[in-house]
């Protein structure tokens, strides 16, 4: 994976990328979202697949022509999704995707993060985001608290 990340670039996702993106989402969630049960992951998988096929979000991938190592969902100055292959965590891929999101944003950049994923909260804080609000449940009403984070435009 190290060579793949070194050769990776951010590009608009293509329909042919969706299967890799969904597999990457599942690997990433299993590695980072320890608060989700197996049933939660299985229930979310078809919803994520549906979202990845939606035009409501701009989908971008970090990878080569053959391999996707990360992806970003972006809409209305909000990072809607950011997932990396666990094999490349800590190697700058997430920073590259956030920088790309900022390049697309008209101003400040926002993201909602599962509070129970402390590494993600710390990652965004390290990039200048701060918590501006909190919800006790996720967008579907499940008992997964969300930190609403924002960082000013550079």
pLDDT digits (tens, 9 = 90+) for 87-100: 999 999 999 999 99
Q: Which two tokens stand for residue 25?
A: 């989402």
Sign of the Cα pseudo-torsion (40, 130, 149, 75, in order): negative
- pLDDT average, residue stretch 79-108: 95
pLDDT: is 75 or 2 the higher one? Answer: 75
Q: Is the pLDDT of residue 3 over 70?
A: no
Q: What beta strand segments (E) does the chain contain?
A: 9-12, 58-63, 68-75, 78-84, 109-114, 130-135, 146-151
Q: Is the pLDDT of residue 110 over 60?
A: yes
Percent of the chain with pLDDT over 70: 97
**Which CATH code, of 3.40.50.360, 3.40.50.2000, 3.40.630.30, 3.30.930.10, is assigned to 2-151?**
3.40.630.30
Strand pairing class (78-84; 109-114): parallel
pLDDT, one tens digit per residue, over 10-55 is 999 999 999 999 999 999 999 999 888 999 999 999 999 999 999 8
Q: With contact defined as beta carbons under 8 Å apart, do 49 and 18 qualify? A: yes
Q: What angle do CA 75, 8, 52 make, to 5 degrees?
A: 35
Does the model's pTM come out above 0.95?
Answer: no
Q: Is the pLDDT of residue 2 over 70?
A: no
């Amino acid at each position: 994976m190290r060579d793949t990340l070194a050769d990776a670039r951010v590009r608009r996702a293509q329909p042919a990328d969706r299967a890799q993106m969904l597999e990457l989402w599942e690997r990433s969630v299993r590695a980072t979202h320890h608060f989700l049960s197996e049933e939660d992951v299985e229930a979310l998988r078809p919803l994520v697949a549906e979202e990845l096929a939606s035009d409501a979000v701009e989908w971008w991938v970090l990878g080569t022509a053959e391999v996707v190592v990360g992806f970003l969902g972006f809409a209305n100055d909000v990072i809607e999704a950011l997932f990396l292959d666990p094999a490349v965590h800590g190697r700058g891929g997430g920073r590259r995707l956030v920088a790309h999101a900022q390049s697309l944003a008209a101003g400040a950049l926002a993201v909602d993060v599962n509070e129970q994923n402390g590494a993600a909260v710390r990652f965004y804080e390290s990039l200048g985001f701060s918590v501006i609000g909190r919800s006790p449940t996720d967008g579907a009403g499940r008992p997964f608290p969300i930190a609403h984070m924002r960082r000013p435009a550079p």
